[in-house]
Amino acid sequence: MGKESLSIVKIGGNIVDNPEALELFLTDFHRLKGRKLLVHGGGVMASKMATQLGIETTMVQGRRITDAETLKLVTMVYAGWINKNMVASLQKIGCNAIGLSGADGNSIPAQRRSPIPVDYGYVGDPDPEKTNVEFIFQLIELGITPVFCAITHDGKGQLLNTNADTVAYSVSTALSKRYATSLYYCFEKEGVLRDLNDPESLVPSMNHEESEIYKQQGVIANGMIPKLDNSFRAIEKGVKEVIILHAKNLLSKRGTILVNTPGGNKIQPSDNR
């Protein structure tokens, strides 16, 4: 007998920070058929709150440096305000959600990142091998929809700030032991675009080899690089499919589908020069 399907959806900070867009998104999320799990960011709101509190936000390579004050801030914003409001909104529309950090039920143990070469502070990287698959599985099989914020812990009493894309990657990979998992990275673009200003330039599908060519061409750059790296690692480790798409297209699944077809190179290096 095949595994049940599980949709793991990651929603980013820009939509989390927009109440109308968020409500539409949560309604679509609830309409997704079958078992599902949500992972959310919240960096935009955290940065605003940091300003309000007079805490300086330091970013290196798109990642927040998390000192003690910043850890307190992001834990309050991600695990407190955003997570609980999202759960209350989902409950309102009939989705039996439960909000979790990686500390809850020891669901996502992580390791504090080495301070060399860059000391990111209280930042952790989860290891899919250590994710508490059985606990998350039991919740889902009780009919519950887990909603994860991007806060984890080291098992020694320390909370850790974690990249939400990485949490989604890690949970998807781990849960592939129990489910046929599809991972949806929702953000504010249509997917991978040949021309960032033209939604019609969407690349509908891509394998790892092709993504390397797009990187060389500069089509894939900045924040998209770690997202794609996570995606292809997830596919290599058993995730059935990864789709990068605009949050509004969650139900139609229109976006860039990442596929695991070695040698299936359909583009020419000269395509976009």
Interacting residues with a second copy (CB under 8 A): 52-53, 72, 75-81, 83-85, 87-89, 91-92, 96-101, 103-106, 135, 138, 142, 144, 151, 153, 155-159
Q: Which is nearer to a second copy, 144 or 225 (CB)?
A: 144
Q: Which is nearer to a second copy, 77 or 186 (CB)?
A: 77
Burial of residue 11, with CB atoms counted within 10 A of its CB: 0-12 exposed, 13-18 middle, 19 or more buried? buried
Kindly state the smallest distance separating residue 31's Cβ from a second copy, in Å. 17
CB 258, CB 244: distance < 8 Å: yes
When the beta carbons of 133 and 258 are compared against a second copy, the nearer one is 133
Looking at the DSSP bridge assignments, the partners of residue 35 are 6
Q: What angle do CA 40, 45, 48 make, to 5 degrees?
A: 160
Who contacts 213 (Cβ-Cβ below 8 Å, separation ≥6)?
265, 267, 269
How do strand 241-246 and strand 179-187 relate by DSSP bridges?
Answer: parallel
In the complex, minimum distance from the CB of residue 247 to a second copy, in angstroms, rounded to a whole number: 19
**What is the nearest approach in angstroms of a second copy to the Cβ of residue 155?**
6
**In terms of CB distance, is 109 or 255 closer to a second copy?**
109
CB of 30 to a second copy, least distance (A): 13
Going through 150-192 in order, the beta strands assigned E by DSSP cover 151-153, 159-161, 179-187
